[in-house]
Amino acid sequence: MSTAVTVITRDQMREQRDLAAKVRRHPARPASYHIVTLGCQMNVHDSEKLAGMLRDMGLSEADTRGDAELVLFNTCCIRENAQRKALGNITWLKELKKAKPGLLIGVCGCMMQQQGMAERILTQYPFVDLAFGTGDFYRLPEMLLRLLESGARVVDVGEDPSTLFEDVPVYRTAPHKAYVAITHGCDNFCSYCIVPYVRGRERSRQAAQILKEVEALAASGVQEVTLLGQNVNSYGHDRGEMDFARLLQLVSDTGIPRIRFMTSHPKDLSDALIEQLATNSRVCGHLHLPVQSGSDRILGLMNRRYTAEKYLERVRALRKAAPHIGLTTDLIVAFPGETEEDFRQTMDLVRDVRFDSAFTFVFSPREGTKAAAMDGHLPKEVATERIERLIALQEGITGEVLASLAGTTQHVLVDGTARRREHLTGKGERNISVNFPGDPALIGRIVPVTITGAGSNTLRGRIMKEETT
């Protein structure tokens, strides 16, 4: 895999905009699109860029796949289940295309960047018209124009996804909050993870470009930005420009009311970043810090480059500086060779840290990673029994954490209406959902809410006063 990063020039981006104009004028251009997004927040943000380019080409968004003239699947391959879901969704459209021959079907994203996947799409899914990888997103106008002019399918998956480009139009569906990518790709090469192979090497955007984007969002009324990267903590290491803590301070200086970020790698959680979490009032009091395992032996096999004690030391330092911060994590069960003692150490770490919540996964072997070739894959029944124990433990802790927040004040960014009639829902600083009675006119605003109780994974409350942000 190449270590080079390809920076797309302004002239190249200008060429794509010119091609978008040609698509807009093309008589065979589809009138509408529908994007199906699978996977992480980065995929969601990528789909916003895809939507922005499609709208720039004159397409309007259709509410459903059945109503669209172009259906685009932005895929994920982080786990086998995600890949299976994507392929199942694509297969489902085969029948729709029989009834609607003019329908265009596209597949893009991480799954397409996997070795051999383009060839598989060509042979097993002949009804797919367009396929491209993560490094080619910016070329969507060029590829769609080729498809319209030739009538022949376009499959364009570059060997290296390590591209960096700016000035792509973005269509954001939520007017009050936004994703802002600050890094792309990853250099960590955890032994179980396919991301460096499908998203390329780590590359940081220029701080000036990030700040320009955030300033425009703040001016448009956005209340919260989430800074995205596979490992935001290592922002700037490849540029020598500044570190992530300094970037956070500059982002807060734009006047944006709230800042979140994800995901953080424990080995790169610096004292300067902890200080930002403790002292910067615009940075939300929540940190997603994946630990994956509590066993040093398993962490070594995972190539995580920290020990359980090092992780706990960072947690202690964080909570000393910011006692009310909420911590969430990722945990993998049944990694190859995991013993009952290894698993017990994970359970002990969870009891020690007391996460607000955790995303728990059974190990999923991904072809091309070191872990997939390791010996000692565990039987399904062992993996199932262990993850059930872990989930039960974390659910109990989550319930206690939520109950402990009764009587506190959470400043909630209102996202919309809740299922319960006349109730609103949004996220407080700790990224926990809060439901409370209120006027839908408050959607998109930050309101102080007194917590009165808790459900299994949400909080209940009431607005303290009419004053809002």
Domain boundary among 95, 126, 161: 161
Domain boundary among 161, 190, 223: 161
112 in a domain, yes or no? yes
pLDDT digits (tens, 9 = 90+) for 164-222: 888 899 999 899 999 999 999 999 999 999 999 888 889 999 999 999 999 999 999 99
**Burial profile 85-94: b = 16 or more Cβ within 10 angstroms, e = fewer:** bbbebbeebe
* Res 460: pLDDT: 97
Nearest to 181 by CA among 6, 43, 39, 2: 43
Q: pLDDT-based confidence at 393, cuts 50/70/90?
A: very high
453 in a domain, yes or no? yes
* Res 159: pLDDT: 57
Domain boundary among 142, 161, 180: 161
Q: 330 to each of 174, 198, 263, 385, how far by Cα in Å?
A: 27, 21, 10, 18
Mean pLDDT of 115-127: 85
Nearest to 44 by CA among 75, 20, 68: 75
216 in a domain, yes or no? no
35 in a domain, yes or no? yes
pLDDT digits (tens, 9 = 90+) for 310-327: 999 999 999 999 999 999
219 in a domain, yes or no? no
The number of domains in the chain is: 2
Mean pLDDT of 438-455: 96
CATH number of the domain that residue 454 is part of = 2.40.50
pLDDT over threshold 90, residue 9? no
Query: Whole domain around residue 446: which residue ranges?
Result: 409-463
pLDDT over threshold 50, residue 468? no
* Res 2: pLDDT: 44
Backbone angles phi, psi at 160, to 5 degrees: -120, 115
The whole-angstrom separation of Cα 182 and Cα 180 is: 6
74 in a domain, yes or no? yes
109 in a domain, yes or no? yes
Q: How many CB atoms lie within 10 A of CB 28?
A: 11
* Res 3: pLDDT: 53
For residue 222, give every residue at least 6 positions away whose Cβ sits within 8 Å of its Cβ, in sequence order, or none: 175, 176, 177, 178, 256
CATH number of the domain that residue 28 is part of = 3.40.50.12160
pLDDT over threshold 70, residue 245? yes
* Res 44: pLDDT: 94
